[in-house]
Structure 1
Amino acid sequence: MENRHINSQQGTYAAPHTQTSTGISADTTKVLRNTYTLLAMTLAFSAVMAGVSMAVGLGRGASLLCSLGALALIWLVLPRTANSSKGIAVVFAFTGLLGLSLGPILNYYLSLSNGGSIVMQALGGTALVFFSLSAYVLTTKKDFSFMGGFLFAGLMVVIFGMLGMFVASMFGVEVSAFSLALSAAIVLLMSGLILFDTSRIVNGGETNYVMATTALYLNIYNLFTSLLHLIGAFNDE
C-alpha cells in the first residue's frame, strides 16, 4: 500500500485557498492543527521516555549515544521520509531518544536539595516562553522570515562555542562562566526560532507538519535544557 502524503499542499485536486475567520487559509489551519497535535503527542512520549530513563538510571554514556542516534535520525532519515507516514514514526523515534537522553540530567537535578523546584521552574519557564511567543505570532500573523540570517549565524556561533567549550574542558580549562553565557545565548536563540518557525507555518513557508513539529520540538527541548542549567546555577547548584 502506498504511503499517504503528509504535505497538505499535495493531492490530485487543488482546492481554492479559502480564508477562515482568523484570516489564515484552510490549508495553513490544517497544518497548524496537525503540527500542534503531533507536537503534543511527541512531547508526552518524550516525557514518558525521560521517566523510563530516570527509573533505570541511564548513564551519561548511554545518554550521549541516544542524543547521537537522534541526530542521525533527523539528518539522515527524516528528510527522506517527511512526506510519508514513515516520517511520523521517525519523529516519535527521534523524540523518544532525546527523552531518554534527559534522564541523567534530570536525575542529577532532582538529587539536589531544591532540585524539584529547579526542574519545575525550567518547565514553567519553557511553557511560558513557548506559548507566549506562539500566541503572539498566531495573533499578529507577523512574518519573521527576516530573522533567518541572524538566527543561522547565531546557531553557528553556539555550535562552535559548544565545540570550543568541550575541547577546553578536556584540557582542564575552567569554562563555567562561558557555559552559562552559552546557555543564555541558546535561550535567546531558541526564542527567536520559535517566532521564526511558527511564522513560517502561519505564512505558508512550511507546509509539512512533520518537519514543522520537529523544528518546534527542538526549540522546546533546547530551551528547557538551557533554562535548567541557568536556573540551577542561579540557585547555586
Structure 2
Amino acid sequence: MSVENSTYTARAQTALATNSVLRNTYMLLSATLLFSAAVAGTTAALHLPAPGFIITLVGMFGLMFLVQATANSGWGLLSIFAFTGFLGYTIGPIIDMYLQHFSNGAQLVTMAMGGTGAIFVGMSGYALVSGKRFSQWGGMLTMGILVAFVMSLIAVLFSIPALSLAVSMMFVLLMSGLIVYQTGEIIHGGETNYIRATLTLFVTIYNLFLSLLQLLGVFAGDD
C-alpha cells in the first residue's frame, strides 16, 4: 500500500470515527435533555424547593468531576444522567417561580426554550457547514466563562441585579461561542469522547436557557 493510500485510509477512518462521535453525542444529548426536562417538570409541578446556592454549586461541580473521571468507562453514562438529572432538579423551582410570579410565565419559559433551541441549532449548523476548526477560541472562551462565573458569584452574594443581568448577556454570547467551538472539535477529532462532548453541550444549553429566561423576565415579564 502506498503512502498516499495509507494517508487517505487514515483520514477516512478518522472521519468515520468523528462522525460516530458526533452521532453518539447528539443521541446522548437528546436523551439527557429529555430526562432533565422530565425531572424539571416534575419538580416544578410538585413545587419542590430549590436545593440552595451552596448545594447547587457543590452538586454541579462534584457531578461534573465524576462525569469527567468516568467518561471512558460504562459508569460514564450513569454519571452523565445523574448530572443532568440534578441540573433538571435545579431548574424546576426556577420555572415554578416564573410561572407563579409572572402572569405570562408560561410564555416566558416557552420563549426561553425556543430561543435556546434556535441558538443551539444555528451555532451547531454554522460549525458543521463552515467546516472550520475553532480551536483558537478555546482560551478566550475559558477566560470569558471564568470571568462571567466570578461576576455571577459577586452578583448573587451582594444582590446586584444590574450585574446579574450583564452576566446573563455575557453567558448568552459565551455559550453560543462554546457550541461552535465544541462542535468544531468533535468534527475535526479534537474531542473523541461523546460523554465529555455531551457534558459540555448540555452545560451550554443549561446556561443558555437560564440566561435567556432571566433576560426575558426582566424585559418581557408581566407581574
Q: TM-score, normalised by structure 1?
A: 0.85
Q: Secondary structure at the match of 1:17?
A: helix
1:109 aligns with 2:94: no
When residues 67 and 95 of structure 1 are mapped into structure 2, their CA distance, relative to the original with a 3 A threshold, is farther
Q: How does 1:37-186 map to 2 (within 5 A)?
A: 37-61=27-51, 65-66=55-56, 68-75=58-65, 77-111=66-100, 112-169=102-159, 175-186=160-171
**1:22-46 deviations in whole A, cap 9, x for unaligned?**
xx81000100010000000000000
Supply the RMSD in Å over aligned alpha carbons.
1.7
Counterpart Cα distance in 2 of 1:215 and 1:136:
18
Contact (CA 8 Å) 1:158, 1:185: kept in 2 or not?
yes
Contact (CA 8 Å) 2:105, 2:221: kept in 1 or not?
no
Q: Tell me the CA shift for residue 19 of structure 1.
A: 3.5
Structure 1 outlier segments of 4+, above 6 Å: none
Contact (CA 8 Å) 1:63, 1:103: kept in 2 or not?
no
**1:180-218 deviations in whole A, cap 9, x for unaligned?**
111000100100100111111011000000000000000
The total of aligned residue pairs comes to 213
Deviates more, 1:77-86 or 1:214-223: 77-86
Percent identical residues: 44
Letter in 2 for 1:57: H
Q: What are the ranges of 5 or more consecutive residues in structure 1 without an aligned counterpart? A: 1-15, 170-174
Equivalence for 1:17: 10
Pairing partner for 1:192 from 154, 177, 182 = 177
Q: Tell me the CA shift for residue 55 of structure 1.
A: 2.2
Which structure is higher in helix share?
2
Letter in 1 for 2:50: R
Pairing partner for 1:226 from 211, 215, 219 = 211
Q: Secondary structure at the match of 1:102?
A: helix
When residues 63 and 45 of structure 1 are mapped into structure 2, their CA distance, relative to the original with a 3 A threshold, is farther
Counterpart Cα distance in 2 of 1:236 and 1:42:
29
When residues 120 and 70 of structure 1 are mapped into structure 2, their CA distance, relative to the original with a 3 A threshold, is same
Equivalence for 2:198: 213
Counterpart Cα distance in 2 of 1:90 and 1:130:
23
**1:3-57 deviations in whole A, cap 9, x for unaligned?**
xxxxxxxxxxxxx43549xxx8100010001000000000000000001111221
Counterpart Cα distance in 2 of 1:176 and 1:62:
18
When residues 145 and 198 of structure 1 are mapped into structure 2, their CA distance, relative to the original with a 3 A threshold, is same
Contact (CA 8 Å) 1:32, 1:209: kept in 2 or not?
yes
Contact (CA 8 Å) 1:17, 1:26: kept in 2 or not?
no
**1:104-152 deviations in whole A, cap 9, x for unaligned?**
1100111221111111110110000000110111112211111111111
Contact (CA 8 Å) 2:51, 2:90: kept in 1 or not?
no
Letter in 1 for 2:183: T
